[in-house]
Amino acid sequence: MSNNDASTTNTPPTNFIHQIIEQDIQEGRNGGKVVTRFPPEPNGYLHIGHAKSICLNFGTAEKYNGECNLRFDDTNPSKEDQEYVDAIKEDVQWLGFKWAGEVRYASDYFDQFYAWAQHLIRNGNAYVCDLSPEEASEYRGWATKPGKNSPFRERSAEESLDLLERMKQGEFEEGSRVLRAKIDMTSSNMNMRDPILYRIRKQSHHQTGDKWCIYPNYDFAHGQEDAIEGVTHSICTLEFADHRPLYEWFIENLPVPSKPRQYEFGRLNINYTVTSKRKLKQLVDEGVVSGWNDPRMPTISGMRRRGYSAQAVRNFCDSLAVAKTDGVVDMAQFEFFVREDLNENSARAMCVLNPLKVTITNFPEGEVEMMTAPAHPQRNGQPQPAIHPGNLY
């Protein structure tokens, strides 16, 4: 996956994202290189919905001889934990994918983000706002009602730079001040109404310890991470479509080393299946299940413990449409691929649980005769699946 010489494949593009990539390659954009990324937040275990995104991002990189980064968007230490980081890495590896280079973290770039925040302030594109959360919500307006400018919007760059540094030094309490971009409080897109760039969070971080007490907002970090890493095609689920104008605004207003593009696809929803990490975490915290890897959970680790194979999960994800609308898939479709894989690759074994003693009187004493039987009924005379505990689901 580390080959940088991307080229179109002999197989036709299977979805609109691949169509875009093939056109980019033909027109020589990005030097013909394809770099994607899988950017989970380490605030829970991955579930079946994430599997589709994993297969799309890593699979796309494989298809076009590109690279796919594994990057943790660890901008909210209050909900993150090293346990989740380790579990996510294990899940990606279990699915059979290999990320390019070392594992990356948003926290690797915190110093750069801070410098870019100062850049926005100096250019008149950001300011420190003293509105309380309740006041900020009132000033923001509604989807049908334009917002109004914060009284601190015209604060001088010098004052905002000083306040931001004092925020960084821990001088102010949580919620007392934020850094906001200066865009348009009357925009029909709520994400463009002077979004928050930095909040005060006096909490230890699982990667940086106590170095920081202000943390960047996800929207401020996301595009800049892609730009730093040279991501060419930033593939997100559909709920980020309204965030794309903000993604592009940051790219245009910061001296980033590259200009990635964001593309959105419909997320995977399975009927009668809970895939909200917040609700799954509630099941774990309240002891309803034994943990994130409980076989009843729709997490990747839960499915692994249930006996599903990685190939079955990948086959299922590859069968799904990559479209610009959300859709619901029946659980029976997933179970079809599980059964198909088990039928093809699982060895069969017959056991006698309550044997009867039989004495053969006409067989030479001391002689042994070995008999064989196929481990798979449809592979008589062909290579058989190995019989070991991993195959006995």
Return the closest-CA partner of residue 105 out of 49, 41, 54: 41
Inter-residue contact 177 to 163 (CB < 8 Å): yes
Catalytic residue among 41, 62, 248, 340: 41
Question: In a 3-state reduction of DSSP, which class is residue 311?
Answer: helix
Inter-residue contact 232 to 30 (CB < 8 Å): yes
Residues 6+ apart with CB under 8 A from 359: none
Catalytic residue among 267, 281, 305, 348: 267
Inter-residue contact 70 to 86 (CB < 8 Å): no
Would you tell me how many other CB atoms lie within 10 Å of the CB of residue 261? 19
Return the closest-CA partner of residue 169 out of 236, 112, 214: 214
Kindly report the length of the chain: 393
Any catalytic annotation for residue 267? yes
Return the closest-CA partner of residue 117 out of 106, 109, 125: 125
Q: Which residue has the tokens 């809970």?
A: 274
Catalytic residue among 71, 180, 277, 314: 277
Any catalytic annotation for residue 277? yes
Phi-psi domain of 44 (left: phi exceeds 0; alpha: psi -120 through 50; beta: other)? left
Any catalytic annotation for residue 41? yes
List, by residue number, the catalytic residues: 41, 267, 277
